[in-house]
Amino acid sequence: MQQYTILEKTPLSGNASRMVVSAPLVARKAQAGQFIILRAGENSERIPLTIHDQDREKGTVSVVYQVVGAGTMELDTLNAGDRLHDFVGPLGRETATQGIKKACVVGGGVGCAIAFPVARKLHDQGSVVHSIIGFRSKDLVFMEKEFQSVSDKLMVMTDDGSYGSRGLVTQALEGLIKEGHQYDEVIAIGPLVMMKFVSQLTKKYGVKTTVSMNPIMVDGTGMCGGCRLTVGGQVKFACVDGPDFDGHQVDFDEVISRNRIYEEFEKREREEACFLLQQGEE
């Protein structure tokens, strides 16, 4: 039986953290763009997380999560030396980068942790890589050095202008396009609203765009249908058909609406989890 021991846990910015997990079989086959589904305990919620990094020699897989609900709150109580009950993967399809000579990788918030291995894959295959990473404010910026190491050009954007340049990633991207940069592909990973507006912008300029979708997901095998979305008028499942899709074909409004269905339920679960954690500390 596999023992998925947490080897490292590193706080990042805001309420995000990175975990390095011992998972040799997953590490052996993991590729940029794929994801895993983990459970903190036997009765815990299944949490899908895109793979941030892997070390095949050491047999480790790194994931980045943000505390947003009861499931990630429980996960965050674990530390180095603790074991995860489940760590299943790699799932989904890897990000296709063959033939890309010049790309712009756009990451938003915690999505930057997912965008980084894609930028690195492009860099390692000899592509020209421009990266744009966006955050709400300076205190949430992370992975800047990692992106610098794999990018020919890097732009850091903050909503309030407290670090880097003030503005949205779409403004930075449009500026680069207007400067004359011709990209074979734009790869956007982050909040749904961000990916929606990046896709609208690139469609106007006729630039191929790939987005990584993260709708509600349960089993990761296409059986539950929870991660269904409409792409080009057809029903797709993010877990088996994706998570990467043509951003110009995704019905973002439908996905955003479906993701909001469980907001009230998640709020109650989060409040209950907070209460239980507080009780446990007393």
Note the pLDDT of residue 276.
47
Confidence bin at 259 (pLDDT 50/70/90):
confident
User: How is 104-133 classified by DSSP, letter by letter?
Assistant: EEEEEGGGHHHHHHHHHHHHHTT-EEEEEE
Percent of the chain residues topping a pLDDT of 70: 88
pLDDT in tens, 30-68: 998 899 999 998 888 888 888 999 999 999 999 998 888
pLDDT in tens, 109-130: 889 988 999 999 999 999 999 9
Question: In this model, does residue 275 exceed pLDDT 50?
Answer: no
User: How is 156-194 classified by DSSP, letter by letter?
Assistant: EEETTSSSSEES-HHHHHHHHHHTT---SEEEEES-HHH
Q: Please state which of the ranges 38-47, 91-100, 254-263 shows the lowest mean pLDDT.
A: 254-263
pLDDT in tens, 133-163: 999 999 889 889 999 999 999 999 999 999 9
Would you tell me how many other CB atoms lie within 10 Å of the CB of residue 214? 23
| Domains parsed from the chain with CATH numbers | 4-91 (2.40.30.10), 102-259 (3.40.50.80)
Note the pLDDT of residue 268.
56
Would you tell me how many other CB atoms lie within 10 Å of the CB of residue 278? 9
